[in-house]
Amino acid sequence: MTETETEPSGGDIAADPIEVRLRRALGARSIVLVGLMGAGKSTVGRRLAARLGLMFKDADNEIEAAAHLTIPDIFAIYGEPSFREGEERVIARLIREGPLVLATGGGAFMREATRARIAQGGVSVWLKAELDVLMRRVRKRGNRPLLQTDDPEETMRQLMEIRHPVYGSADVMIPSRDVSHDRVVEDVMEALDAYLNGPSNQGVAAQ
């Protein structure tokens, strides 16, 4: 083999586009977006999937398709525990179909079995948004079953207190700010690159 035919050096690999580095590092694993309603998981997830050339799936949409019911109807007819069981099965199936980018419902990551499935077949990314940002976003849609209360903002605050410590076990955390979705996608990709490929950050969640 001549000098010009030698294998690429580590430096050449590091110079690959970030999309190539992430696809290589992910292998068969999926990117799983977690966080509260209004964090931007679906919108960011679609754009992230497009950047990486991966399929995008929204767990809530898949649940509705499987049940032939809307999420609010599932809650109303069968209750939240039944919904969570179905959600767990759907997420397990989607992860098996990976690699893909998967947006999950706000309560999905709270189930230990679902967290284990995600850890086994994916890399979890917590999109963390402040209360005022979440409320501005969720007020645009009136079909959030958990916010059908007398004080939706207080309900959201309570959800944050309960869920944030669990979301904190995700592999990567990214602030979901009032900036363009493309900027958040860049933030996610850079953090994943550091988490998956950074020699000094291997296995360390981005902060």
* pLDDT tens digits, 129-181: 999 889 888 877 666 666 677 788 898 999 999 999 999 999 999 998 888 88
Res 81: pLDDT: 87
* pLDDT tens digits, 14-47: 678 999 999 999 999 999 999 998 899 999 999 9
Whether the predicted pLDDT of 10 surpasses 70:
no
Q: Which residue has the higher pLDDT, 35 or 98?
A: 35
Give the sign of the dihedral formed by CA 46, CA 44, CA 66, CA 95.
positive
Average pLDDT, the chain: 86
